[in-house]
Amino acid sequence: MSYLRTAILLAGLTGLFMGVGYLIGGAGGAMIALVIAAGTNLFAYWNSDRAVLSMYGAHEVDARTAPDLHRMVAELAARAELPMPRVFIMDNPQPNAFATGRNPQHAAVAVTTGLVQSLSREELAGVVAHELAHIKHHDTLLMTITATIAGAVSMLAQFGMFFGGNRNNNGTGIIGSLAMMILAPLGAMLVQMAISRTREYAADEMGARICGQPMWLASALSKIENFAHQVPNEDAERAPATAHMFIINPLSGQGMDNLFATHPATANRIAALQQLASQFGGTGFTSSPRPAPPRPGGPWGGASRQRGPWG
């Protein structure tokens, strides 16, 4: 994502924020919303990565506490010509992962325990490479700020609906206010959906090139998709505005959650990776690969005999 597109996105979300503020409190409400939006943008730039990691209970690991995982991230980051990101693990049974941070020098990769336990070493490398691709493309700043502002828009709109709009409005003005308060959060979600599709496809391709094997990522996506429908992610259900940050939508899709389905169809992503694999001389992918055997030394510790091109 270019910085220009990021700026346009933030301007649009800020405009939505101010619009809802105007409907709640008139011109004064719009100015207050602008001040809040500016503060939210600054907070998101400097602290949103820590906020998101804290939201999911992620704890940082290093070469001593998670040697295999830390080594894999380091070697793939070197292949991607990136600084070594911080590595986090989320205690969550649903296989998933995301990257965050305002730039490659302040980036982090977070994976769930379910991901490390469910995937083979090669599939895990494909997922890590995908997240490093987000960092390389500077997507992580956009993802974290989008999640922060979109959540703020929804919260302010709900506040306005609860306490009522601008008292100076009447008749069609009240109807317009209610419509805006409903449509503003939807507009924020549509922005997330619009950027996520191209972002995920681009990260898939770059991630496949980083690890050198497109089918590793394709296999991982299939497994994660299957698990995501069976294993709930309670933290994501409580903060659906962050769903677009994950490699696969972590939400169950029940109720209103499907409005946050910001990811392209997994089948389409796998098809694109299969096409890329043909350029690499790769082989076709079976949609139901055999589960990986347990690794010695725990799900992310100990030695492994399997070595990929990053080793």
Dist CA 224 CA 96 (whole Å): 7
Q: How high is the mean pLDDT of the chain?
A: 77
Residue 149 has pLDDT above 70, yes or no: no
CA distance 208 to 202: 10
Which pLDDT value is given to residue 310? 42
Phi, psi angles (nearest 5°) of residue 212:
85, 0
Residue-level pLDDT at 172? 43
Give every CB contact of residue 92 below 8 A, 6+ residues apart in sequence: 56, 57, 112, 113, 114, 233, 235
Identify any residues that bridge with 97 across adjacent strands, giving them in sequence order. Answer: 111
Query: Of the given ranges (166-175, 245-254, 298-307), which has the lowest mean pLDDT?
Result: 298-307
Examine the pLDDT at 214 and tell me if it is beyond 80: yes
pLDDT at 280 over 70: yes
What's residue 255's pLDDT?
44
Scan for tokens 């500016």, then name that residue.
38
Weakest-pLDDT range from 84-98, 112-126, 179-193: 179-193
Average pLDDT rounded to a whole number, residues 104-112: 96
More confident residue, 79 or 180: 79
Q: What are phi and psi of 97, to 5 degrees?
A: -165, 155
pLDDT of 160 over the 80 cut = no
**pTM, to two decimals:** 0.74
- Over residues 275-287, the mean pLDDT reads 63
Over residues 190-199, the pLDDT tens digits come to: 666 666 667 8
Angular region, 264: left φ>0, alpha ψ -120 to 50, beta rest: beta
- How many Cα atoms within 13 Å fall on the side-chain side of residue 96? 30
Q: What does the pLDDT read at residue 143?
A: 72
127 burial level (CB within 10 Å; 0-12, 13-18, 19+): buried
Condensed to tens digits (0 to 9), the pLDDT of residues 118-143 reads: 999 999 999 999 999 999 998 887 77
Residue 74's Cβ-count burial label (10 Å; 0-12, 13-18, 19+) is: middle
Q: What does the domain layout of the chain look like in residue ranges?
A: 3-280
How confident is the model over 163-179, as pLDDT tens digits?
555 545 444 455 655 66
CA angle 9, 54, 147 (to 5 degrees): 15
Identify the band that residue 39 occupies on the pLDDT scale cut at 50, 70 and 90.
confident
**pLDDT, average across residues 267-288:** 73
131: annotated active-site residue: yes
What is residue 265's predicted lDDT score, i.e. its pLDDT?
A: 87
Q: Catalytic pick from 75, 122, 123, 131?
A: 131
- Share of residues in the chain with pLDDT > 70 (%): 61
CA distance 311 to 32: 54
Asked whether the predicted pLDDT for residue 59 surpasses 90, the reply is yes
Strands 107-112 and 86-90, how do they pair?
parallel
